[in-house]
Structure 1
């Protein structure tokens, strides 16, 4: 029997490399200047500057909102579509797969320019920049949301579970909400985190559609690059901590439920 290759050294090496990057970014953000091998002087004034800047705090709130709203809308829409296709119109499944693959072939620049030129002069609320951003991001993250939910439903054989629940007297809607969704919740969470990360780190789409109308933290970071390298490094560290906190929150929410299921 052949032994499986040990992948731990490779994983540890990658983790060390990633941690080193963020560590050096943090060190650079607290340096007064770094022109030699070692930095000269330490200061936290760049962190004080960004946390006392209301524009930065508002940009963070806007980024979180625009990262959550499209994900929630897209997830609910896909779940409803999968419910109808699974139970009533299974023949539309192949067309649904083709439809969700289309966003892969559309560049973000082309999509955002097309949306802006189409809805910029449209009546409210279609011409609202937040509405345009929400719709655009729903299109971008659609493949990731759909594929994550589809794979989970295929894994648990959702149709057979619903039929078994119907034999026991449950309705289709009750079986889908109370049995299917809890069983695919882990896959939904992974899709949500991936989609939120894509939106959270986006600059191209929000810069073209939002611009000065809806300034997110990525636009704030882009403008900070022209002011100070230490300031932009401090912003990157803060964004990393926010992302890590969100991921830790999802993990902390998932672990008690996982432990309870094992018991």
Structure 2
């Protein structure tokens, strides 16, 4: 038994080290001017000073957070309402919704934004607005992840039995679903939300195709920096990673605090 535990811990350590090595190397490279030998030389923070003093960088980060948060909120609300209908009133629709929500897996990459541009650029406002198109497209991209996370958690906690028990105590179906079931699946929903945010944060193809240079995000800023300085590029990567980590930590902290208060 002890041998199995040690083997498991060793495997976890090896996996963590394997995942962290690229990030650590990127951090080291961003902190030194040269790395042409075994060890880097000339420690400096110039790359980080340039980034933190660049207003364009912070504007691009703000835009990235905006186009991440809005699609996630809208998509989560829509999926929760759809799951409410299928669980309570139309359980036979579940298989069709599952097929519909997995279609975006097949239209990833440059195909999706090009199709969106072809369909909506000639329609009246606000449907041809690039920001509207961008948010709507990201909702399609993250739909499978949000849906699967919510569906798996609903099945995991036995949502139907919980709703039936709440109804026996006098609660309405709507109240039972959104005030009893949903709070119990928020941990899983939060994981799906963080995964979706990471996907949007890392996207370049969709935002570049739909918005171009009119709406510069963090990934577009990173692409521009890559043409100028490798050291500054690594610094941008580290800062974006820390921002994403901070957002994730805040989300889990808020969720834990709400759970403790409940």
Shorter-chain TM-score category? over 0.9
Matched, 1:20 2:21: yes
Cα distance per residue 1:67-121 (max 9 Å; x no partner): 1111110000000011111111122111111111111111221111000121123
User: What is the root-mean-square deviation in Å for CA atoms of aligned residues?
Assistant: 1.9
After TM superposition, where is structure 1 displaced by more than 6 Å over at least 4 residues in a row?
A: none
TM (norm. structure 2) is 0.93
In structure 2, distance between residues paired with 1:25 and 1:198: 20
In 2, distance between residues paired with 1:8 and 1:254? 28
Alignment of structure 1 residues 3-152 onto 2, 5 Å: 4=4, 6-152=7-153
> Are the structure 2 counterparts of residues 258 and 7 from structure 1 closer, same or farther at C-alpha, using a change threshold of 3 Å?
farther
The answer to which of 7-16 and 175-184 deviates more is 7-16
- The DSSP-based 3-state class of the residue aligned with 1:37 is coil
Shift of 1:260: 6.4
Name the CA distance, whole Å, in 1 between partners of 2:125 and 2:49: 39
Aligned length: 261
Instruction: Classify the secondary structure of the residue corresponding to 1:32.
Output: strand
User: Which residue of structure 2 aligns with residue 157 of structure 1?
Assistant: 158
Counterpart Cα distance in 2 of 1:237 and 1:14:
20
Report the secondary structure of 2:214's partner residue: coil
Q: Which runs of 5+ in 2 are unaligned?
A: none
Contact 2:186/2:255, CA 8 A, preserved across alignment? no
Give per-residue Cα distances to partners, 1:176-200, cap 9 Å, x unaligned.
Answer: 1110111111111111111111111
User: Larger deviation: 79-88 or 252-261?
Assistant: 252-261
Residue of structure 1 in register with 2:167 after alignment: 166
- The 3-state SS of whatever aligns with 2:213 is coil
Q: C-alpha distance in 2, partners of 1:248/1:193?
A: 10
Q: Which residue of 1 aligns with 2:241?
A: 240
Shift of 1:259: 5.7
Task: Select between 18-27 and 63-72 the one with higher mean Cα deviation.
Answer: 18-27
Q: What is the rounded CA distance, in whole Å, between the counterparts of 2:219 and 2:24 in structure 1?
A: 21
1:14 is displaced (CA, Å) by 2.0
Deviates further, 151-160 or 216-225: 151-160
Q: Following the alignment from structure 1 to structure 2, what is the Cα–Cα distance between the partners of residues 26 and 222?
A: 18
Q: Where does structure 1 lack aligned partners over 5 or more consecutive residues?
A: none
2:180 is matched with which residue?
179
